[in-house]
Each structure stands twice: as C-alpha cells, then as structure tokens.
C-alpha cells in the first residue's frame, strides 16, 4: 500500500473499503461463507474479498518464525455447493485453499458443510441437500440448547 499522504483519492477509497471489510471481520465472532464451486475454484468475488481483508499488520503479521494470523477465536462455517462430487478428492481445490487462507489470518476453527452432486440428478440433489440440512441441524442444536 502507498503511504497515506501519497494515495490518490481512488486509492484512498479502496483502502477505506478494505478497512470497512476488515472491521466487520474483526468484530465478528462467527463467520459464514456460502461457497459455490466455479471451475474447481472459488468465485472471483470471494477472492477479491480475501484480497481486501488480507493486510499485514491488520489481519496477519510476519515474524521470524513466519506469518501469524491476528483474527483468532472465531468460528467459521463454510457451506459449499457443488454440481459434482469433489469432497475428499484431488479435484477439491476449494477446501484446502479456504483452510490455508483462513488459517493464515488466524481462523482455524473451520467447519465445512457440503451439498454436492447437485447437477447429477434430482434424486442426487435432494439426497445431498437433505444430508447437508441434517449436518446444519446438528451444528445448530447445541447452540440453541445453550441459549
């Protein structure tokens, strides 16, 4: 990033937007990502969001032992929707990417819920959605009981 006094108005607007996104993330106790799979990757809008919130000194820092994430103590839920079946295969590039990136920022308590095979058949779609809903219910029930 350019020094504040050297920024153009357009650059400052981008920094202000990034600051707002980082502020939201810092204030959050729980982070929820809706994640469709596009061509084996994440949507470009999510990648752009990640680029806005990954900032040295704000969400991570460099140390002699390597980078350290500063956004610790957050629970992350990732709800992944996919037309095919990818979880647990080499073609699932999303899960490791999301884990690596979020861990880089300090978020390591990450729960993935997959709805896969949505484009295979109506039966596959309904089965996968029911299974994902059951997983979500199991995640929510302890929270409701504690409330």
Tell me the sheet residues that pair with 66.
Answer: 63
What are the tens digits of pLDDT across the range 63-80? Answer: 999 999 999 999 999 999
pTM: 0.90
- Residues 75 and 30: beta-carbon distance below 8 Å: yes
What are the tens digits of pLDDT across the range 69-115? Answer: 999 999 999 999 999 999 999 999 999 999 999 999 999 999 999 99
Q: Which CATH superfamily is domain 7-146 in?
A: Flavodoxin domain (3.40.50.360)
Domain range annotation of the chain: 7-146
Q: Which of 93, 91, 138 is nearest to 113 (CA)?
A: 138
């Amino acid at each position: 990033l350019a020094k504040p006094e050297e920024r153009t108005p357009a650059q400052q607007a981008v920094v202000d937007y990034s600051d707002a996104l980082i502020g939201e993330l810092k204030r959050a106790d729980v982070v929820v990502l809706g994640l469709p799979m596009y061509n084996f990757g994440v949507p470009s809008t999510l990648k752009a969001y990640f680029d806005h919130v990954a900032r040295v000194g704000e969400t991570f820092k460099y140390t002699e032992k390597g980078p350290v994430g500063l956004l610790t103590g957050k629970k992350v839920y990732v709800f992944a929707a996919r037309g095919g079946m990818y979880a647990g295969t080499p073609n699932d590039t999303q899960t490791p990417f999301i884990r690596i990136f979020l861990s880089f920022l300090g978020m390591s308590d990450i729960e993935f819920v997959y709805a896969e095979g949505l484009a295979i058949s109506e039966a596959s779609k309904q089965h996968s959605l029911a299974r994902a809903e059951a997983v979500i219910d199991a995640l929510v029930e302890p929270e409701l009981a504690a409330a």
